[in-house]
Amino acid sequence: MLKQAIHNEPAPDFSYLNHIGEKQEFGELKNKWIILYFYPKDNTSGCTLEAVDFTCRVNQFIEQDAIILGVSPDSQKSHENFINKHSLGIELISDPNHSILEAYGCWGKKKLYGKEYFGVIRSTFIINPNRVIAAEWRNVKVKNHVQEVYNKLLELKTTENDPKRKD
C-alpha cells in the first residue's frame, strides 16, 4: 500500500502504463514540475473540458518545465481513444485498480442523488522537482481550474527561486 499524499510531504511514487501501454516510473521524471490530476472518466463532459483546457495550455506549462499527467480508472485503450478523439496533448495514466488514486486520496465515497458510491474525487496536485507536493486541490470544479493551476505554478516557481527566501 502506498502512503497517502499530503501537502508539503514527498509525493507517493508509483509505476504506471501510459496511454500507449508503455510502463513508466513516476520517480524517473526528474528535474520537472509535475501537474498530476485525477479525473473520473474519459469522454464525459467535465473530464473532456478539463483535458482540453490542459491541452490548450500545455505549451505554457512546458515553458515552465512542467509536465501534465492525468489519471483515471479507465483502460489504456480508452485513454488512447480519448486522446485521439480530442487531439489531446497530455499524457494519461490508466489506474484500473485504483492504487494511484488511493495513494493520493482521490478514491473515496461520493454521493449523488442521495446514493453513496465509491469513485474518483476530482483533484489536482503540483509536485515540485524534489518530488514534494507543493499545492493541491480537492473536489475540483473544472471551470477556470487550469488557469488557477498555472497561476499557482508560476507563484511557486517565483517563491522557490527567490534568493531572499529562507528555508
Residues annotated as catalytic are: 47
What is the chain's Cα-based Rg?
Answer: 16
d(C-alpha 146, C-alpha 113), whole Å: 28
Which DSSP letter does residue 111 get? E
Distance CA 79, CA 72 (A): 9
Within the chain, where are the H helices?
A: 45-63, 76-86, 99-103, 145-161
Torsion of CA 34, 65, 150, 134, to 10 degrees: 40
User: Can you tell me the distance from the alpha carbon of 51 to that of 2, in angstroms, rounded to the nearest whole number?
Assistant: 26
